[in-house]
Amino acid sequence: LPSLPSIQIRYLQGGPGRGVMLKKIHICLCFFFVSGILYEISLLSGCFSYVPMSKHFLTPEQVLNLGKSIIFLETTERLEPPPLVSCSVESAARIYQDRPIILFMKGLTNEMALDMNSSYAAFSLLSSMKNVFIFPLQMETVFQETPLLQWYNQVKQEKNWVHVSSDASRLALIWKYGGIYMDTDVISIRPIPEESFLAAQKSRFSSNGIFGFPAHHKFIWDCMENFVLKYNGNIWGNQGPFLMTRMLKTICNLTDFKGTEDHSCQNISFLNPQRFYPIPYPAWGRYYQVWDKSPNFNHSYALHLWNFMNHNRKAVVAGSNTLAEKLYKAYCPTTYEDLIKNANNTITKPYLPALHQPVF
């Protein structure tokens, strides 16, 4: 047998051992490269399945950069999503199967491993869905390279902070990455065909509970600048629906809606209230009532359940036959089965979401 030094010399000189080693390294690199390509394709096409735990190796930026994300925010410290939040995320995951669905949670940290084996029922449920991702909401990172960073460093934790920080975060995320933002009490029922849109709560007034734009759209940048310029945390909704409305009025001549038509201005669609608010806020309780004949919502893309108005903590109850129960069964059946039908007392937990109070 050759001595150890002679083996080392032969390897360094390009002997057969080196060739075998280089071939193995080449094969490994090709394997990882192809695996990465297939994984990204699977997120966009739904053609491949994968183990949900593998999602934990992706960063928020990697998922957001896939494009066309549906984004939800939780700006309280709560870690267990209530049934309505779970229903909102699940319904979006079912309607937009070829798009990443992201739930950002302020109470979550990078050290927490909340997955399909979590003791939180909703986390286990949502983590099992291949296109759902749950990430910590790190606001200082979100606001980097936007007009909101300096504001954030100066005004932290003041009155209405849960709501105001949510208003700011959704603008920054959509500006940076594009996609659709939705409040966590919005149940998706069919795809939104528009890319650049605002949702009318009523004629001449925009909500900010759901909107969509491509990355780096000028309208969103202008909204962030106006957010800082006109900031007043003591006025409810000043950085939310009032912001969207006053910025839209600077570029569009808003008129009343007639029928179910949408309006369009400067390549931005201003969608009819029927698209998301077919039941207006004064009648929000009708979602929790039994209807003789349930509405078909043929003109709607999603339904806003006005959870901020739900001061009496009305909840979906199995067997109640309310409109909300029927919506859960149809659009978030896993949430209904796991968190409503088969859970004890889960539905009665108090829930005060980071959502805007409707304008009266």
pLDDT, tens digit (0-9, with 9 covering 90-100), for 295-321: 999 999 999 999 888 875 799 999 999
Asked whether the predicted pLDDT for residue 73 surpasses 90, the reply is yes
Report the share of the chain in percent with pLDDT over 70. 76
Q: What is the pLDDT of residue 309?
A: 84
Starting from the edge strand earliest in sequence, which strands make up the sheet with 197-202, in order? 132-136, 101-105, 70-74, 179-182, 205-213, 197-202, 268-271, 263-265
Q: What is the pLDDT of residue 356?
A: 36
Mean per-residue pLDDT for 187-208?
98
Mean per-residue pLDDT for 28-46?
46
Domains of the chain, residue spans: 4-45, 52-348
Residue 129 near residue 93, CB atoms below 8 Å: yes
User: How many CB atoms neighbour CB 212 within 10 A?
Assistant: 23
Sorting pLDDT into bands at 50, 70 and 90, what band is 26? low
What pTM did the predictor assign? 0.81
Lowest mean pLDDT segment, chosen from 17-26, 180-189, 274-283: 17-26
Residue 325: closest CA among 128, 87, 72: 87
Most confident segment among 29-43, 82-96, 298-312: 82-96
CATH class label, 52-348: alpha beta
More confident residue, 285 or 349: 285
Q: What is the pLDDT of residue 258?
A: 94
The model's pLDDT over 220-256, given as tens digits with 9 standing for 90+, comes to 999 999 999 999 998 889 999 999 999 999 999 999 9
Asked whether the predicted pLDDT for residue 25 surpasses 80, the reply is no
Lowest mean pLDDT segment, chosen from 31-45, 78-92, 200-214, 257-271: 31-45
Mean pLDDT of the chain: 84
Phi first, then psi: what are they for 205, rounded to 5°?
-140, 125
- Helix and strand totals (H; E) in the chain: 12, 10
Asked whether the predicted pLDDT for residue 123 surpasses 90, the reply is no
CA dihedral 156, 159, 160, 165 (to 10 degrees): -10
Cβ neighbours of residue 158 closer than 8 Å, sequence gap 6 or more: 164, 233
For residue 38, the one-letter residue type is L
Q: What is the pLDDT of residue 5?
A: 42
